[in-house]
Structure 1
Amino acid sequence: MKRIAITGGAGNIATQLRGFMRSEVEHIRLIDIRPAADLASNESFFEGDLADAGAMHAALEGMDSVIHLGGLPREFDIAHMIPTNILGTYNVYEAARANGTNRVVFASSNHATGFYPRSQTITPLDVPRPDTRYGLSKCWGEMVAGFYYDKAGIRTLSIRIGNAGPYPNSERAAAIWISPRDLYQLVRIGLTHPDIAAAVVYGMSKNDAGWWKDELAERLGYRPQDFTRDHLKLEPVEESPVASFFQGGGFCDPEHDGTIRLRDENGLVLSGEATR
């Protein structure tokens, strides 16, 4: 908790985290392609593109840890996803290895498992089922984290962030929402816990939905402070049959043919069922 870099440092989640970090961290370096606002005395800004390996090497010089939030935050075509979310994540880890930056907190996403049904409770140990190219890129990042621990000893906590909006505005959001202070608690665990190698946890506050069960987060000391229902502000939401069936919601819709296919934990067709 000394010198920490944040990619995507001008973004909303980084802005939330900075409010908690400033009093605990010696220096925060904010890395982004657009300027970060309202820099504190112990913050600096580094303009750099994740796709530029040299820029990432320079950005992480002298940093102890990096919180990797940068990248495209929603679905795009693969040509846009590759340089930022795929190559960009690789560049961050290569820069970390070269600079001796030995801790990473990786902002993964619930969309790494978005094609699980809402009726099913899953854990971080279940096989990923990404709902988008964006979700695929997060699966890639989790695998990169494991590779760089095995190769170089870089320790990573990958947090599959649920809904990090200001408040949960739908039933789906209520099932996966995480408050800023609960997210910071997980980030802090990722930066400091001695037993983390390449671990994956879900990022959620307390809720009664039961979509995710995460014994590892609890074992690492995560104790969420906020209960989703206390912050719920429902807004009108229309969901297609596909979106309402899967945990990924509307992310599952684009290019989907409308057939809901079921499979078991072995990847086999579940009871031969497919519904339209």
Structure 2
Amino acid sequence: MPVPSAPRTLLLTGAAGGLGTLMRELLPQYGYTLRLLDVRPVEGARDAIVADLNDPEALREAVRGVDGVLHLAGISLESTFDKIVESNIKGTQRLYEAVRAEGGSRADGTAPRVVFASSNHAIGYTPRPRTEDGAPVVPVSTPRRPDTFYGLSKSFGEDLAQFYWDQYGVETVSVRIGSCFREPTDVRMMSVWMSPADGARLFHAALSAPDVGHTVAYGSSANTRVWWDLSSARALGYEPQDDSEVYAEKLLAEFGPLSDDNPAHRYMGGRFINDPPIWPY
């Protein structure tokens, strides 16, 4: 278990969501004091900030004095273009503006570092590699091919992070998260699964590594069936400990192997290609 040298305050946006809830449980063991923000009340957290990403004053107050931001907030499934724009595009840009302003108010001019929850859906139309046949894994430099408006917003977020680094010196690690659940739920997910414990390890590495500029990294565990190159994540100091292969016997018995007859198996984006889950709100 890591023992930090000093307490650090971390703004966790999207704190009421599924991934946010997992990180609320796990990140404090790395020495972080969490400041929570969500558009909905956060269960069990009376001092959480309840605010929309498009409220500049609330965002400015939320980032005041923090050492870093883990940005998980926004629409995490497919939705209409207008809703995606308001939440994931405009909202993320307003968060970066608040971070930039916070850096400008500090004596050393250093803005809090951002860890941006990007997604494998930014490259969703990339064909899955046949790693079982010895094909190379997908590098972070592969051209982005978003599979939905949601994936498009994650592509935008990575470009936004690059711009705020080049223009204003705001550091970001954009983590292309696969699926972070307590265990994988189907055969495809075994290739992109990130255990919650490995998620906390990766986010901590992204927040604490020196001189990241804007770094893009894939977010998964050390899966036997992994589809993408984890070298940029490992360069941050990430050492994944889990492997989805322990679930293989159960999942293969239930679902069978991947098949190119199924469009959701042919591409990195899975069912987002042909039957994306829709944001319910």
TM-score when scaled to structure 2? 0.84
Picking from 7, 11, 14, the partner of 2:13 is 7
Structure 2 counterpart of 1:147, from 159, 163, 182: 163
Q: Is the 8 A contact 1:17 1:184 kept in 2?
A: yes
More relative contact order, 1 or 2 (CA 8 Å, 6+ apart): 2
**Cα shift at 1:134:** 0.3
Deviation at 1:241, TM superposition (A): 2.9
2:117 to 107, 122, 135: 107
Equivalences, count: 252
Q: CA RMSD in A?
A: 2.0
Deviation at 1:90, TM superposition (A): 0.2
Q: Work out the CA distance in 1 between the residues paired with 2:80 and 2:32.
A: 39
Q: CA deviation at 1:215?
A: 1.7
1:48 maps to 2:54: no
CA offsets per residue over residues 162-198 of structure 1, 9 Å max, x none? 1112211111100100001111111011111112110
The normalised TM-score by structure 1 is 0.85
Residue by residue over 1:120-179, the C-alpha shift from the partner in whole angstroms, topping out at 9 and shown as x without a partner, is 631111111111110010011111111111122111111100111221111110010000
Matched, 1:248 2:258: no
Q: Deviations over 1:25-61 (max 9, x none)?
A: 453111011111233xxx8300110122222112212
Q: Percent identity?
A: 39
Q: Which has the higher strand share?
A: 1
Partner letter of residue 115 of structure 1?
Y
- Residues 102 and 153 of structure 1 are in contact (CA less than 8 Å); yes or no, is this contact kept in structure 2? no
Contact 1:206–1:224 under 8 Å retained in 2 = yes
Within 5 Å, which residues of 2 pair with 1:2-151?
Answer: 2-25=8-31, 27-39=33-45, 44-100=47-103, 101-119=111-129, 121-151=137-167
Q: Which runs of 5+ in 2 are unaligned?
A: 1-6, 104-110, 131-136, 277-281
TM-fit CA distance, 1:245: 1.1
Question: Can you list the C-alpha shifts for 1:189-226, whole angstroms capped at 9, x where unaligned?
Answer: 11111121100000011112242122212222221100
Q: Secondary structure at the match of 1:171?
A: coil
Higher helix content, 1 or 2: 2
Matched with 2:202 is 186
Rounded Cα–Cα distance in structure 1 between residues aligned with 2:68 and 2:233: 20
The runs of 5 or more residues in structure 1 that have no matched partner are 256-276
CA deviation profile, 1:94-119 (whole Å, cap 9, x unmatched): 00011124200100001011111113
Q: Is residue 225–residue 245 contact of structure 2 (8 Å, CA) maintained in 1? A: no
Secondary structure of the 1:148 match is helix
